[in-house]
Amino acid sequence: MAGRINQIIVDVVMAGLKRFSPDALPADLDLGFLGGDEAGVPLEPYREVLELARRRGGAKCLLQAGQTLHDLSDPILFVLLNSDRIDLVIEKEARLGRFIHSRHVVRVLDQGSHCIVLEHASLGPEPPRETEDLAAAGQHIALFEQVGCRGLRLRFPRSAAPDAWTYRSGEFAEPGAGPYAVWHFEWDTFEPTRRPMEGLDQLLLAREARRELSETSASASAISALIREDLGRTWTLTEIARRLDAAPRTLQRALAADHTNFSELVDGVRVDEAKRLLQTSNLSVTQIGYVCGFADTSHFSRRFKKRVGRSPSGYRTEISDPRT
């Protein structure tokens, strides 16, 4: 939605400023006006706070603010961190942007085995401000380290100091003058990891047997189980086949024998998991749609209604009301 920003982003940045750069904002500054609603936080007041923090604490304080992600437990963060490739994090972010109506997007400009170049851009006519670029870059430092980057480094190749590392293995440096919209990340090694999140691991990676698994062939069961390990991923038959050490055509034939195909199977798994979360969790409908891998809220509603006969919110209301 134009003119607003997602509440979780605001919370991360404000908590990070208070924790790592307490002098960046006046001690008596009341941040109550940054409390939002389902549509987010008004953008302009948030931007004003970022500008104030930069003037008082320098650009570095906005980069450091993202470190609070290391302590955050959230279903959206769970999906992002449940990734075995850096570009997969960016892919999941793009889908998240469609769910929360983000004004900004992070694009991959270049990628190598130990580096990735990203651009923080706008979906509208107005580009992100430098303070927004810095805050977003800082959040990606924390994301990439949690996903598995070791010896992570960041520089801004289009800034006044394009070759200077502004972050290097845990140490922040004040960057040169902007712009900061392009980020060059490098790392020494990458070992996919994900810190456990109490409650969310049990909820989002539930292993209990399900009727849908027991009633399908071995191939369909194996595919379903693999998809459930990372519902937030956009799976392809080729990637599934590689993971299962099978030929794509072999899996297609096995699914056809069960009177289904790959896209129908994936769709069924996502709806099945969405039903479970609507029944057993307090996650919002938007959160459930995102963690289950749907493209956006409209896609979630259409696919769910086609299989279940009612919208996700209607289904949740029905199962929670004993009179229906």
CA-only gyration radius of the chain, Å: 21
Asked if residue 149 and residue 28 are part of one domain, the reply reads: yes
Considering the domain architecture, whether residues 173 and 126 belong to the same structural domain is answered as yes
Q: What are the phi and psi torsion angles at 126 (to 5°)? A: -100, 120
Residue 254 lies in a domain: yes
Residue type (1 letter), 87: D
**Residues 183 and 218 reside in one and the same domain:** no
Q: Do the domain assignments include residue 195?
A: no
Label residue 98 left, alpha or beta by phi (over 0 means left) and psi (-120 to 50 means alpha).
alpha
Asked if residue 261 and residue 146 are part of one domain, the reply reads no
Considering the domain architecture, whether residues 168 and 216 belong to the same structural domain is answered as: no
- The reply to whether 42 and 119 lie within a common domain is yes
Lowest-confidence range among 189-193, 200-204, 217-221? 217-221
Both tokens of 226, joined, read 């693999």
State which of 133, 166, 190 marks the end of a domain: 190
Residue 299 identity (one-letter amino acid): H
Count how many domains the chain has: 2
**Domain CATH code at residue 289:** 1.10.10.60
Residue type, 25: L
Cα(180)–Cα(163) distance, rounded to whole angstroms?
13
Does pLDDT of 209 surpass 60?
no
Does residue 51 share a domain with residue 173? yes
Same domain for 47 and 122? yes
Per-residue pLDDT band at 212 (split at 50, 70, 90): very low
- Record the pTM: 0.88
Looking at every residue in the chain, the average pLDDT score rounds to 89
Cβ-contact 97, 105 below 8 angstroms: yes
pLDDT in tens, 223-251: 998 999 999 999 999 999 999 888 999 99
Say if 198 falls within a structural domain: no
- In this prediction, residue 211 has a pLDDT band, given cuts at 50, 70 and 90, of very low
Domain that holds residue 39: 4-190
Give me the CATH number covering residue 137. 3.90.1520.10
**pLDDT tens, residue by residue, 35-58:** 666 666 778 888 999 999 999 999
44-102 tens-digit pLDDT = 888 999 999 999 999 999 999 999 999 888 999 999 999 999 999 999 999 998 888 88
- Cis peptide bond upstream of 26, omega within 30: no
Asked if residue 201 is part of any domain, the answer here is no
Give the amino acid at 303.
Answer: R
Q: Identify the band that residue 13 occupies on the pLDDT scale cut at 50, 70 and 90.
A: very high
Per-residue model confidence (pLDDT) at position 72: 87
Structure tokens at 113: 């085995």
Q: Give the 3-state secondary structure of residue 118.
A: strand
Question: Is residue 173 located within the same domain as residue 222?
Answer: no
**CB within 8 Å of 68: residues ≥ 6 apart:** 12, 15, 16, 19, 142
β 171-172/165-168 pair status? antiparallel
Cβ–Cβ < 8 Å for 168, 189? no
Q: What's the whole-number mean pLDDT along residues 167-171?
A: 93
Q: Are 208 and 270 in contact (CB under 8 A)?
A: no
CA distance 10 to 80: 18
Nearest Cα to 146, choosing from 193, 207, 112? 193
In single-letter form, the type of residue at position 311 comes to S
Question: Which of 190, 223, 246 delimits the end of a domain?
Answer: 190
Residue 217 reports pLDDT greater than 80 = no
Q: Dihedral through CA 146, CA 178, CA 161, CA 171, nearest 10?
A: -30
Is residue 200 situated within a structural domain? no
Please indicate, yes or no, whether residues 184 and 59 belong to a single structural domain of this protein.
yes
One domain for residues 210 and 184: no
Does residue 168 sit in the same domain as residue 210? no
What's the confidence (pLDDT) of residue 263?
94
49 vs 51: CA distance, rounded Å: 5
Phi, psi torsion values for 186, nearest 5 degrees: -135, 155
The vertex-233 CA angle with 157 and 41, nearest 5°, equals 65
